[in-house]
Amino acid sequence: METSVVDVPDRGRFEIRAGDRVVGLASYHVEDGTMALPHTEVDPSVGGQGVGSALVAGVLAAARERNLHVLPYCSFVRHYIQEHPEELDLVAEADRPHFGLVTADR
């Protein structure tokens, strides 16, 4: 399935689309150089196909491009960051313990 991640700022969310169909979303709020990520969801009809991971990858890429830190309140986003440690730098070091993202070298 070919998808694209699109920022829809007037709705406060990123959408992942398959063609013109929205198959998932990640809500966000940006304040003081930080993007809070409270919620993601994926249409159950496309579950298990990597849509959620593609969505989070796109959101984190956008945050990086905009030089924003992220607050991964959503458990799926936290799990994605745990599975992709190269993205850990997007969470400010001081915020990592709050999200259970303390690195193993501590």
d(CA 98, CA 106): 15
Q: How much is the pLDDT for 84?
A: 96
Q: What is the CATH number of the domain that holds 20?
A: 3.40.630.30
Cβ-contact 2, 53 below 8 angstroms: no
Q: Would you call 77 helix, strand, or coil by DSSP?
A: helix
Range(s) of the domain holding residue 72: 4-99
Query: Model confidence over 60-89: pLDDT tens digits?
Result: 999 999 999 999 999 999 999 999 999 999
Answer yes or no: is 104 within a domain. no
Answer yes or no: is 90 within a domain. yes
Answer yes or no: is 105 within a domain. no
Answer yes or no: is 106 within a domain. no
Answer yes or no: is 64 within a domain. yes
DSSP code, position 65: H
Going residue by residue through the chain, which has 106 residues, state the pLDDT in tens, using 9 for 90 and above: 799 999 999 999 999 999 999 999 999 999 999 999 999 999 999 999 999 999 999 999 999 999 999 999 999 999 999 999 999 999 999 999 999 997 655 4
d(CA 61, CA 102): 21
Number of domains, the chain = 1
